[in-house]
Chains A and B, each alone.
Chain A
């Protein structure tokens, strides 16, 4: 894989254009953008600005909704959710940095539905990495990647945003 395919501004531009099409196709009204803490929150801020959405970005931390309670290392850095009072009937654009197994998206949907029944939720991610473990997938993504088993994508931010693909023998960096 070459470095340029992971340029963040390119990925964001592609995501922006796909989201614009989807917003019009699915007739989203006053959509609420929600980022999954913390990488998803950073990406959501960028897209929110590009799409010039009205309402501030919502943030959810899904640590309390994960499916591996006994394996979770610590709950000491969990942030409170920042969501508007009224979630019932809303059109929601859920944002994450990387979609991999789908478990984070599952947790995020559970958290959101605890606040009320949205009219629709669409999921947009910067990178979709192959390796789904649950029957969910993003509606749009900046890039789809097939990585080796020992490779991991790592987003650092918020300023500057940078993507690393970490593997034992090589490290690709993009900004």
Chain B
């Protein structure tokens, strides 16, 4: 099923999920992003690589950081970028997703960047769109958020250089986190030594250990000797039943505090895909502290998205 992302030559044409992508493809994305990193630091933050291409951001779900960095990434590659506000679009007048796609195709666009509350939305669009159009998943339901996972991998490589010896933990609301799922797949493919998930039992998907992770239910055990700490947000908006007593109680047991951070290696980095809930999953002093690379993740997000846009648009799709 994931071969949908690759064309006949095995090159990346859509970017929907990390699942099924080889270590070589992930490394090519990271290496290409490395090249793009410099552009954002130049006085002229633009290259003409995607001049003449039209990229449509289709965000059926709210997002500030992801949408903005996709817009900036497209602009810095000289593509024309259009962000459609679904709330005021024809979709709210009853137009189906496929009809929206057909209409945009008729406007000769080259790429859809899709965020949707339903898992599989990106996959569905990739399956049903014209062969010359690339689809990038910018988050679908609880399924995947592969560009976020790649910018996290890029940030880890930037600070730690080699994936092989690393112990990495993802901490927090794993159950609702599409980011965590994509991160686990990417970390496994890139071959880190150990992946842990740390969360209360109510916030872990069932059979999570089958994803190739070690499960911990206390911070004290889970943080020991870590190189990389990835905090994920408590997704209150997706919680439909009483999974937690209270936010205060959650912070008391699973919040990242100064004290707990000392359990990890002294040079451990602290990451968070944002938006952060200060005092819920992470103490302010850590989010703003010397081990935090949270804002670096945001900067890297532009370069990584530039790389993914370039690679997918470079590789033509197959006619179906």
Tell whether B285 is near chain A: CB-to-CB under 8 Å.
no
B46 touches A77 (CB 8 A): no
Tell whether A81 is near chain B: CB-to-CB under 8 Å.
yes
Given known A-B contacts A74-B32, A75-B35, A76-B35, A85 and B48 have beta carbons under 8 A apart: no
B46 touches A114 (CB 8 A): yes
Given known A-B contacts A70-B314, A85-B43, A115-B43, A77 and B49 have beta carbons under 8 A apart: no
B38 touches A79 (CB 8 A): yes
Interface string of B15-50 (1 = CB under 8 A from A): 000000000000010011011111101111011111
Which residues of the partner chain A approach B43 to less than 8 Å between Cβ atoms?
85, 115
Which residues of the partner chain B approach A110 to less than 8 Å between Cβ atoms?
48
A75 to B316, CA, bound (A): 17
B38 touches A80 (CB 8 A): yes
- Chain A residues near B (Cβ < 8 Å): 63-65, 69-70, 72, 74-81, 85, 110, 114-115
Nearest 7 pairs between A and B by C-beta?
Answer: A80-B38, A76-B31, A78-B35, A64-B47, A114-B44, A76-B32, A75-B32
Q: How many residues of B contact A (CB 8 A)?
A: 23
A72 touches B34 (CB 8 A): no
29 CB contacts below 8 A, A to B, read A64-B39, A64-B47, A65-B47, A65-B48, A69-B49, A69-B50, A70-B314, A70-B316, A74-B28, A74-B31, A75-B32, A75-B307, A75-B310, A75-B311, A76-B28, A76-B31, A76-B32, A76-B34, A77-B31, A77-B35, A78-B38, A79-B38, A80-B38, A80-B41, A81-B38, A81-B42, A85-B43, A114-B46, A115-B43
A78 to B34, CA, bound (A): 8
Which residues of the partner chain B approach A80 to less than 8 Å between Cβ atoms?
37-39, 41-42
A78 to B31, CA, bound (A): 9
Q: In whole Å, how far is A143's beta carbon from the nearest beta carbon of chain B?
A: 32
User: Which one, A64, A69, A85, contacts B314 given CB within 8 A?
Assistant: A69
Describe B's contact surface by its main secondary structure: helix
Which residues of the partner chain A approach B41 to less than 8 Å between Cβ atoms?
80
A81 to B48, CA, bound (A): 15
A76 to B36, CA, bound (A): 9
Q: In whole Å, how far is B78's beta carbon from the nearest beta carbon of chain A?
A: 9
A69 to B47, CA, bound (A): 12
A63 to B307, CA, bound (A): 14
Q: In whole Å, how far is B305's beta carbon from the nearest beta carbon of chain A?
A: 14
Q: A80-B42, A114-B46 are in contact. List 8 more A-B contacts (CB 8 A).
A: A65-B47, A69-B50, A72-B314, A74-B32, A75-B35, A76-B34, A77-B35, A79-B38
Q: In whole Å, how far is A166's beta carbon from the nearest beta carbon of chain B?
A: 27
Which residues of the partner chain A approach B46 to less than 8 Å between Cβ atoms?
114
A78 to B48, CA, bound (A): 14
Q: In whole Å, how far is B53's beta carbon from the nearest beta carbon of chain A?
A: 9
A81 to B32, CA, bound (A): 16
Given known A-B contacts A75-B32, A77-B35, A64 and B44 have beta carbons under 8 A apart: no
Nearest B residue to A113 via CB reads: B44
A115 to B47, CA, bound (A): 11
Which residues of the partner chain B approach A81 to less than 8 Å between Cβ atoms?
38, 42
Q: In whole Å, how far is B212's beta carbon from the nearest beta carbon of chain A?
A: 27
A80 to B36, CA, bound (A): 8
A69 to B48, CA, bound (A): 10
Q: In whole Å, how far is A62's beta carbon from the nearest beta carbon of chain B?
A: 10
Interface string of B43-80 (1 = CB under 8 A from A): 11011111000000000000000000000000000000
